[in-house]
Copies of this chain bind each other. A is one copy, B any other.
Amino acid sequence: MPSAKIKYTDGMQFVGETGSGHAIVMDSDTEFGGSDTGVRPTELLLVGVGGCSGMDIVSVLKKKHQKLTGLEVNVEGKKAEDYPQKFTDIHIEFIVKGKGLSEEAVKRAVDLSMDKYCSVKATLEGTAKITFSYTLVED
């Protein structure tokens, strides 16, 4: 089962240790009493959905023997103004770089992640409307 242990250190700083054994420093900005020494907890949802879908796409393109040379995932979120300020919209932009990439293979990889594999996207879309786009770049 996925798990995490988060410990308060000082100010608004927390250190999270994941079940896989890696640590993440979180902090709020100075406006909320923090010192900006680490990520905002809400940002982790966006990093997570970008990493999750990115791994799916790399995995599918490797299986399809595509010459991938780079992948960037840009994620933007929009939160409600009223508390609890949940995410209402998330857009994910994939920039797929490679040599002679098949557009069909890239479309298939992106669609498989978005529709079938990405557990973070599937979890977040219970609340947020998630949209995505992709661009191929010849490298």
Listed in ascending order, the chain A residues whose CB lies under 8 Å from chain B are 1-8, 12, 14, 16, 18-22, 24-26, 28-29, 32-34, 36, 38-52, 54-55, 58-59, 62, 68, 70-79, 83-87, 116-128
Instruction: Tell whether, in the assembled complex, residue B54 and residue A44 are in contact, meaning their CB atoms are under 8 Å apart.
Output: no
- Structural contact, A71 and B1, CB atoms closer than 8 A: no
Among B43, B52, B58, B83, point to the contact of A42 (Cβ < 8 A): B52
Shortest CB–CB separation between residue A14 and chain B, in angstroms? Answer: 5
Are A32 and B6 in contact, CB atoms less than 8 angstroms apart?
no
Tell me what chain A mostly uses at the interface: helix, strand, loop, or mixed: mixed
- Stoichiometry, as copies per complex, reads 2
Identify A3's interface contact among B21, B62, B77, CB under 8 A. B77
Closest residue on chain B to residue A8 by CB atoms? B71
Residues from chain B with Cβ under 8 Å of A2 in the complex: 40, 42-43, 46, 76-77, 79, 87
Check A84 against B18 for contact (C-beta < 8 Å). no
